[in-house]
Structure 1
Amino acid sequence: MRNVFDQYSQPENRITHALMTALHEDRELLGSFLREIAIAKPPVATTHLAVLVQQLPETPSVSEEEAERRGIPDGWIYSVEQEWCLVIESKVLMRLDANQIDRHRRMAERLGFTCIFVLAITVEDAARQRVESGQRLRILEWSEVYVWLRSQSSSEWARRTAEYMEVVESRMIMDQQFVRGALTRFSGVSFSDEHPYTYLEAKRILRLLINELRGRRDLRDGLGVDPNAPGRGSITGSKGQIVWDFLSLRGDLGKGVTTRPHLSLGIGAQRLGVMVTIPDKVEGRVRGALREIGEDAFAGLLRRVVKDLKPLMRSEPGAIPTLHAQQRRWRHRRAKTDMDAELRFDLRTIPGATGDPKKQPLWLSAAYGAFVDKRGSNYEFQVGVEFDYARCSGLQKSSAVDLIARAWLGCKPFIDLVR
């Protein structure tokens, strides 16, 4: 069934129409919007304000194409009797233009409004815009509006609009329309039996998470994450059960993800994986360091990782310190992976590691021995933390980004060895 908000073809118009519909239908929400978002106090009660999309006040409606051609503002909130208006300009794919703001003001003046406020909503940081906020001009990001909508817990229209923004953003990411910015912000990983995993939503969440994690100082200073290094060029795998991206460590530029250790983040159908990946074709220096340390010292290193992760595991019992090893092959570049062998075990099974699981030294011996004597196989392994959706309630909050950072920081002893 078509969404009630899907009335336009352009993303700017779709999102603006969703917001304006919610404000028109919920006048308490409209009052909060004017006070908290637009910072514009109307001279009359919100029940006496008119709300329009892609149309001029007191004139017949026009088509979306005609509105674009004539440069009509995306939204209006106004009172003709009081000569008061808020003009809304929405930008998703294009940059904000100061000349366009001036034209909207002049258009409002020609229509007889004497008290004119302008609200511009974009996907980019306002500091990057070439238009400066000034008197009766406010510039915000759509992600700020999204956070505000999510905070309006008593409004069904606010919830529906926020969810629609997530849907539109997922579609745009799928269609590779986004060049910069975002419509929403990370608010948690909510997959569960009641909210099953979908590729589109996982891809949207992954994009938001990676953007937040890339800017974290604790990862830059503590682990040497390079915030300017790109991640995956194209995130594919719509038929699979996981989407993933990575952060690079400083000094990796130009060496490629297939030859250097990196920090991987994978959103799967059942769990979230926060891992340090040693790829199949890892450079000789790293391979040599892992071989020279020997199995016993390597086990001791992983016991340190388990110890450093204890505070995280106390706060989230479903966080499992994990070693994941696999041998894979591909028939062609975009083919689904053929899995030849896979081993995944809880690091607390290593003898001497603290924790409840029964100890079993053979799991580590198998994983480490296969790496040391890989004999040309496509073998990679990862060390990190896996968060089970069913057991980690903290994943459903925006603070889950802190859990992810803490997981990588807990792996610092291992990262220091392989950097």
Structure 2
Amino acid sequence: MSYWLEKNIYQQIYRHFPAFKSRNFRLFFSGQILSLSGTFMSQVTISWLIYDLTHSPWLLGIIGFLQFLPALILTPFSGVLCDRWSRRNLLMLVQVLGFIVSFSLTTLTFFGLIEVPILMGATILAGLLKGLDMPVRYAIVVETVDEREHLSNAIALYSAILSSSMLIGPAIGGALLATAGAKYCFLYDSMSYAIALLTLAMMKLQVVPVNHQSQNTWQKLKEGFTYVYSCLPIRIILLLLGFHGVAGISYMALLPIFAGDILKGDGGTMGLLSAASSVGSIVACVYLSLRRQVLGLERLMALCPLIVGLGLIAFGLSRQIWLSVLILTAIGGGGILKVSCGNTIIQNLVEDDKRGRVMSLYSLAVIGTLPLGNLFAGTLAQHIGAPTTVICCGLMCLVETVWFARQLPLLTSWIRLKTNAVRELAPVHN
């Protein structure tokens, strides 16, 4: 009876989430959700320690900037490496380096030797590693599924990994900080790296042909930029995602102001507001993972800036905690839908030999614009206030909705052509 029940459960899981049929994806999923949750936990812990040691809000802002600046610089070069070398080996190398950094912090914290310069240096190193591994993580997903039609499901589930890690990591980190101390947060991060390395080593990926042409790095970078510029659908999506990083997600930098000054709350309110967008992201990713077709995602993507824009305007006007939480849940869901739909469409349109470079530019559009968005929101809020700033960002998202809606017919035709081409080639591969 128990065997029948277990078998039925697995059948239901595979029916709704077919990417889990692939052993490699199951290994990748389990390893990365631990690794990423440890990474986000470590970020929260470093920020807490720096504020605890210095009580300087300015240093907190610097830490937030340093977390993303190296990624802005290194991400395009990581894309070149993705197209030249084994993506699994690259990811394992970055994970080893991340383990060294995390284990060093663990050791220093256990011996009471942690200081602000060490934490700043660790933040810079973590930012460098983030710039190297983000495009690799995105690009390797396509190699972990056995059947191409499961790719969109795998991408949605990977987006769920990111969203749930952003929720789980800080939540566990906060509990450990309150009960056991920062040293056990870093210890968890170190152990998560070790488990991720083990799962990567257990994966049996097919050998993907890589390009070993004699072109130098700058030529490869130029080729990647030229390809994206010439492929109008990819260019449109990257522009949309870049704009989202500047206007659609910059409200996150202002959440402490809303929690303390606007909503008259405390640290618990801040945690509630931060968690709300992550909850919305997880719900959106689960919904997206149940979809089977790429065609139609562009229309769903067009609704996202509308949801985010209206949500930001409502959030800027809200003065009730419960209402703000509900609004942020919708904003988080709309934002991750936009990012995940863009990822799925691009992964299905891009040529395999340019996947790494294109996904590096995708990472740049999604993450690399965050420092600019934070700077924009902080500067504007200094002059006109946080609520008005958020409302202005919402209005910008509504303008973005109109612009993207005008691009929909062209984007739909490209996706339909690509989908038909894959179907025609499918019998040959079989």
TM-score interval for Structure 1 and Structure 2 normalised by the shorter chain: under 0.3
TM-score (normalised: structure 1): 0.25
**Larger Rg: 1 or 2?**
1
Larger helix proportion of the pair? 2
TM-score by length of 2: 0.25
Greater relative contact order (Cα < 8 A, sep 6+): 2
* Structure with greater strand share of residues: 1
